[in-house]
Amino acid sequence: MLGRINHIALAVPDIATASRAYHETLGAVVSAPQALPEHGVTVVFVELPNSKVELLEPLGDASPIAAFLAKNPDGGMHHICYEVADILAARNHLVATGARVLGNGEPKIGAHGKPVLFLHPKDFFGTLIELEQV
C-alpha cells in the first residue's frame, strides 16, 4: 500500500527563520510560504533530491500546530507523509484493520493539491502519519 516518503514535516515557531536556516546554512532550495487556512498552517517545502521537508507554522491560535509548539517550543518532527496510489482503498483497508483515521475519515486537499488523510499516532507507535494520493 505505501509508496515512497513524500515528506517529513517539522513544526517550527518561526517559518521565516527556519526557511533561512535551510536555505542559507544548508544550501537547500526552499519554496515560498503558502497559507493553508483549512489546515490551520503556513507551509514551506524544502526540496531534496529524494524527498521534501515540510516546515509548518501555526496559522492562528486554533491551529493544531500551536498546541504542538506549546509542548515543544523549539519545534520538532510533527508527521511523516507516505504516498499511496488510491487513498480511499488505503483508508478502507486501514479502517478494516482497526486503524483510526483522524477527522471525519474523508480526504482533504493538502498542500500539493492532492487528497490527504491523517492516521492516529497511537496506532503507529507515536508517529502521526499522513497519506497523500499520488
Q: 84-120 pLDDT, tens per residue?
A: 999 999 999 999 999 999 999 999 999 999 999 999 9
Biggest CA–CA distance in the chain, Å, is 46
Per the annotation, the verdict on 130 as an active-site residue is yes
Q: 53-94 pLDDT, tens per residue?
A: 999 999 998 999 999 999 999 999 999 999 999 999 999 999
Q: Which structural domain range is residue 114 located in? A: 2-133
Check 54, 57, 130, 132 and give the catalytic one: 130
Give backbone dihedrals phi and psi of 31, rounded to 5 degrees, phi first.
-75, 170
pTM: 0.94
SS3 91: helix
DSSP characters for 24-85? Answer: IIT--EEPPPEEETTTTEEEEEEE-SS-EEEEEEESSTT-HHHHHHHH-TT-EEEEEEEEES
Total structural domains in the chain? 1
Q: 5-58 pLDDT, tens per residue?
A: 999 999 999 999 999 999 999 999 999 999 999 899 999 999 999 999 999 999
Q: CATH no. for residue 79? A: 3.10.180.10
Q: Which residue do the cell numbers 514551506 mark?
A: 44
Taking Cα atoms as reference points, which of 130, 13, 14, 114 lies closest to residue 79? 130
- Residue 114 carries which DSSP code? S
Taking Cα atoms as reference points, which of 82, 80, 78, 55 lies closest to residue 67? 78
